[in-house]
Homo-oligomer: A and B are copies of this chain.
Amino acid sequence: MFNKLKAACRADWDAYVQHDFVRQLAAGDLPKACFQHYLKQDYLFLIHFARAYALAIYKAETLEDMQHAKAGLGAILDDELELHVSYCADWGIAREDLESLEEATATMAYTRYVLERGMAGSLVDLHVALSPCVIGYAEVARWIQAQNFTVLEGNPYRSWIEMYSSDEYVAVADAAAAYLTKAGAGLSDADLARHTKTFREATRLEIGFWQMGLDRAM
C-alpha cells in the first residue's frame, strides 16, 4: 500500500525525499543555523507526534493495535525526546531553549494536519497521515546513502544520517509499512482515493518542514 501511495504522488514524494535540505545535509554543506533551526522545531514535532500515537491508542479496536501504538508513544516520550535534548545540546541548543520555543507555522501545519485527519477519519487515516514521516525518514536516509555526492567522512550531519539508516530505525519504518499493507487489504476505492489525498497532502507538508529549516522560517 505504501508503494501505491507513493506512486500516486511521485513528483511530490521525490521533492520531499530529495529536497535541497536533504541534499545539503548529505553533502555536509547545510548551514549549521538551518540544521539547528530544524532540530529545534523537530522537538515540538516529536511532542505532537506523541499526541498522534496517543490518539491511535484511543482509536484502536484491538489490544494489539493499542500495544502497537503504545510502543510508538513510549519510544518518543521515554527515549527520543531525551535523545533529542542531548543531541540538541551537542549542537549548542540548551534544554531551556527547547522548552520555551515558539512553534513555526510549518510545524503547526504538518502536526495539526495529522492530528485532525486522525480525529476526523479512522485509525487507518491517522496512520496514512503519519507515514510520510515515519517511513519517509528511512527512505530519505537510504537515498542519501546512495548518492555519489554524499560525504560521510567529516560530515557534521553524519550521526543524523546514520541514525535514520540504522537497523533499529529501518525496523520501525518497516513495521509501519507492514501495518499499512495489512490495513490496505480490501479497502474500497473511495477509501483508497481518500488515503491517496491524505498521503499527498502530508508529503507536501513534509516538504514545507524541510523548507522551513532551509529558510530558518517561523
CB distance from A71 to the nearest CB of B (A): 10
**Contact pick for A201, options B50, B103, B117, CB 8 Å:** B103
Report chain B residues within 8 Å CB of A57.
Answer: 50-51, 54, 57, 73
Decide: B189 and A186 in contact? CB cutoff 8 A.
yes
A26-72: which have CB < 8 Å to B? 47, 50-51, 54-55, 57-61, 63, 66-67, 69-70
CB distance from A96 to the nearest CB of B (A): 13
Closest to A103 in B: B201
CB distance from A92 to the nearest CB of B (A): 22
A169-218: which have CB < 8 Å to B? 185-190, 194, 201, 204-205, 208, 218
CB distance from A150 to the nearest CB of B (A): 29
Report chain B residues within 8 Å CB of A117.
Answer: 112
Report chain B residues within 8 Å CB of A115.
Answer: 58, 112, 116, 119-120
Report chain B residues within 8 Å CB of A51.
Answer: 57-58, 60, 66, 120
Say yes or no: is A151 at the interface (Cβ < 8 Å to chain B): no
Decide: A47 and B59 in contact? CB cutoff 8 A.
no
Say yes or no: is A113 at the interface (Cβ < 8 Å to chain B): yes
Closest to A120 in B: B59
Closest to A205 in B: B105
With A55-B54, A194-B61 already in contact, the answer to whether A113 and B120 are too (CB < 8 A) is no
Q: Mark A94-122, 1 if CB is under 8 A from B, else 0.
A: 00000000010110110011011101111
A106-153: which have CB < 8 Å to B? 106, 108-109, 112-113, 115-117, 119-122, 125
Say yes or no: is A7 at the interface (Cβ < 8 Å to chain B): no
Report chain B residues within 8 Å CB of A89.
Answer: none
CA distance A67 to B189 in the complex (A): 23
CB distance from A35 to the nearest CB of B (A): 22
**Contact pick for A188, options B50, B108, B185, CB 8 Å:** B185
CB distance from A84 to the nearest CB of B (A): 12
CA distance A188 to B47 in the complex (A): 25
